[in-house]
Structure 1
């Protein structure tokens, strides 16, 4: 059995040997002359990329006016975000080309190039993704792929995914096909949505198009781009699109049964946009509620009422049910205010005061002007009706009625015009004498 002193000496020798191996590896792989040169080139690339990116940021400030404003803002934003990593990518690519021609290994430059390219991709994607969770997920995925490529495991994982086959031998496809097709479709769908949003924003900034035309073109372009992105994404990974013909019947049945309401709303939305019966900004009345149309979606219409409640009304309800559009052909709306005066009142003077009160209310239109009509002779009052016109019903109808009635009330008080209370005439046809005698005797007793 070895003595403790011998064991200690042997442990020290093993530790020294391990230390020498690690030191040799570090010197050979990290601090050799060619690696130090690559470190220097990388540092120079960082400095060059920093100063050029600063110049780009100052040179390409976001424009606030001019032609093609939206496109220029997008281009300048991308230049400002991508200038640093792209310049670093170009620098490392140039260094890798020189090293390749000299037949010298360039592991460090290749690693930095992969990291810079991943950084550029992350900044490009984050420029269009507003959701922070999705943006972080995409960034994590890109960094993970870059790390696997740098460590040399990406090709091994790819081979392992390709070795797992799904389906029969004739129509087999690998797990790699599933993963790559999913990522490809997701990328193209995201690109289609981003492009569709840019198209919608450019359409909304075009003063030559009506609001309904802008909404129609925006929805149609989004639908077409999504369909095209889905098909291109599948085709890019080698999926035979002709195989979808076998599922045509099943898809048709599914659409007819499960998606009937969805497609009904989609078609109804296109009809609403094409016939321009309802468009953003209109004031409509649906189901006893009135409000302003805020948005026309592929599935619903967003209507905001005066109390701030937003109602999402399916498009087919607006097609199949009766809808009042207060601003379809004319934005002016007439409001009626009932007014009652005493029978002893000078009716002509009361009508003139009602018209005068309405004319003094700010939101009441002068043309067509307010009028007051004698509507009938009621049980308790002479019934008048004050009619006024407003051009902004979405700003409220009850408030302008209240303002007019308050002014009428003030003028009636100034001129002594009475608004009567309800009156009832009591006619006594017969009286029971016994009841009268009892009533009189009780009153006499109380008086005593």
Structure 2
């Protein structure tokens, strides 16, 4: 066992039967009480007077404020009490408080980066357990011996001899640097996405490029920190380029197409578009695909390459408005012009329908059963859907047709049934 840890436990066990332990416990209790009072008063004051944009950082500080403030008061008591007796219990308490502060800060940072879900809970439990295990090994004096065992496990990667401890240090260094890069990226991303004077597409492009840049820098720093020669990445980059050119060209095409769409402003989040047979609102634009929210509540994932190589109808490119259309047929016995006027008047009564451009009623054709009519209206909020408006139009037109003697045409099935019954 580590001599320092052995001496710490020996002194603490010896002090338990004396008044020295009582003094140490008193200092711990006083430190916790003062820290709770200071923490509560400071948090209430800051959260009441701080600007809204500071509250995110203040929330992270609140998580570590209690263990750190308690640690400060415990250290002050330790310095004073060390002139008269052993302070092993205070030393142990300081170590536990520091570990608590690290865990709380790490968990807060993870919640800032990772969206709520099963992955977030798993990461929180993994980090907390890992820190407590390392602390337990340190306090038990087994940590140096564990390091020695890992260092004795040696193997070769190519021509270079390495040990398991070095591999674990390398993995940990890479994870920490990537974690810091993601945290910085998320912090800057929140700032950029609130810049309303910059277009949405440009903000999305900037955040994605920034994340890629920070992750690349973090990976290079981590590889250099563990002593690996990063010049081999040039060979890897060449191989990756060949792979993209041969086997991954469709994937690469989707990523390139995504950046082109974001930069040329042909489509933005919230636009109403028609792609192939899919009509809906752009819910999200990502590096590889677009998410289209349809009116029936479903979502379609469309690869970005399809948006570049096929025709896309953007109903709200110039003005953010959408078209809603209904079709119906009237019998030949009905007054055609009267029916068209009634449909136009009923459309003008709807709250969502725009007056300019005015609702438009056209004759689509003459069939065996009747005259086909089409009513087209325009709305300013197409992302809200058109099913409710269509239903309201159908209902109001049906009522006014009944009141004015306009008869709807029978369908083919209804006409055949009437012939059979006749």
Q: TM-score range by the shorter chain?
A: 0.7 to 0.9
Where does the alignment leave 5 or more consecutive residues of structure 1 unmatched?
Answer: 1-23, 425-448
Aligned to 2:46: 60
Q: Answer with 1 or 2: which has the greater Rg.
A: 1
Aligned to 1:30: 16
Aligned to 1:47: 33
Task: Choose which of 198, 210, 226 in structure 2 pairs with 1:209.
Answer: 198
Verify: 1:109 aligned to 2:90, yes or no: yes
Flag the structure with more relative contact order, 1 or 2, with Cα contacts below 8 A and sequence separation at least 6: 2
Measured in 2, the distance between the counterparts of 1:329 and 1:78 equals: 43
Measured in 2, the distance between the counterparts of 1:310 and 1:420 equals: 36
DSSP 3-state at the match of 1:279? coil
Measured in 2, the distance between the counterparts of 1:109 and 1:263 equals: 58
DSSP 3-state at the match of 1:280? coil
Q: Answer whether contact 1:283 1:393 (CA < 8 A) is retained.
A: yes
Aligned to 1:324: 313
Aligned to 2:4: none
Q: Is the deviation greater in 79-88 or in 331-340?
A: 331-340
Aligned to 2:102: 121
* TM-score, normalised via structure 2 length: 0.82
Once the two structures are TM-superposed, the CA of residue 277 in structure 1 deviates from its matched residue by 1.9
DSSP 3-state at the match of 2:110? coil
Aligned to 2:261: 272
Q: Answer whether contact 2:31 2:70 (CA < 8 A) is retained.
A: yes
Q: Answer whether contact 2:371 2:409 (CA < 8 A) is retained.
A: no
Measured in 2, the distance between the counterparts of 1:256 and 1:166 equals: 36
Task: Give the 3 Å change call, closer, same or farther, for CA 157–62 of structure 1 in structure 2.
Answer: farther
Q: Say what the alpha-carbon RMSD is for the aligned residues.
A: 3.2
Aligned to 2:6: none
DSSP 3-state at the match of 2:255? helix
Task: Give the 3 Å change call, closer, same or farther, for CA 172–36 of structure 1 in structure 2.
Answer: farther
Aligned to 1:353: 342
Where does the alignment leave 5 or more consecutive residues of structure 2 unmatched?
Answer: 1-9, 112-119, 416-422
Aligned to 1:7: none
DSSP 3-state at the match of 2:280? strand
Measured in 2, the distance between the counterparts of 1:227 and 1:103 equals: 54
Measured in 1, the distance between the counterparts of 2:302 and 2:383 equals: 18
Once the two structures are TM-superposed, the CA of residue 93 in structure 1 deviates from its matched residue by 4.2
Once the two structures are TM-superposed, the CA of residue 120 in structure 1 deviates from its matched residue by 0.2
Once the two structures are TM-superposed, the CA of residue 369 in structure 1 deviates from its matched residue by 1.2
Task: Give the 3 Å change call, closer, same or farther, for CA 110–262 of structure 1 in structure 2.
Answer: farther
Matched pairs, number: 396
Task: Give the 3 Å change call, closer, same or farther, for CA 51–335 of structure 1 in structure 2.
Answer: closer
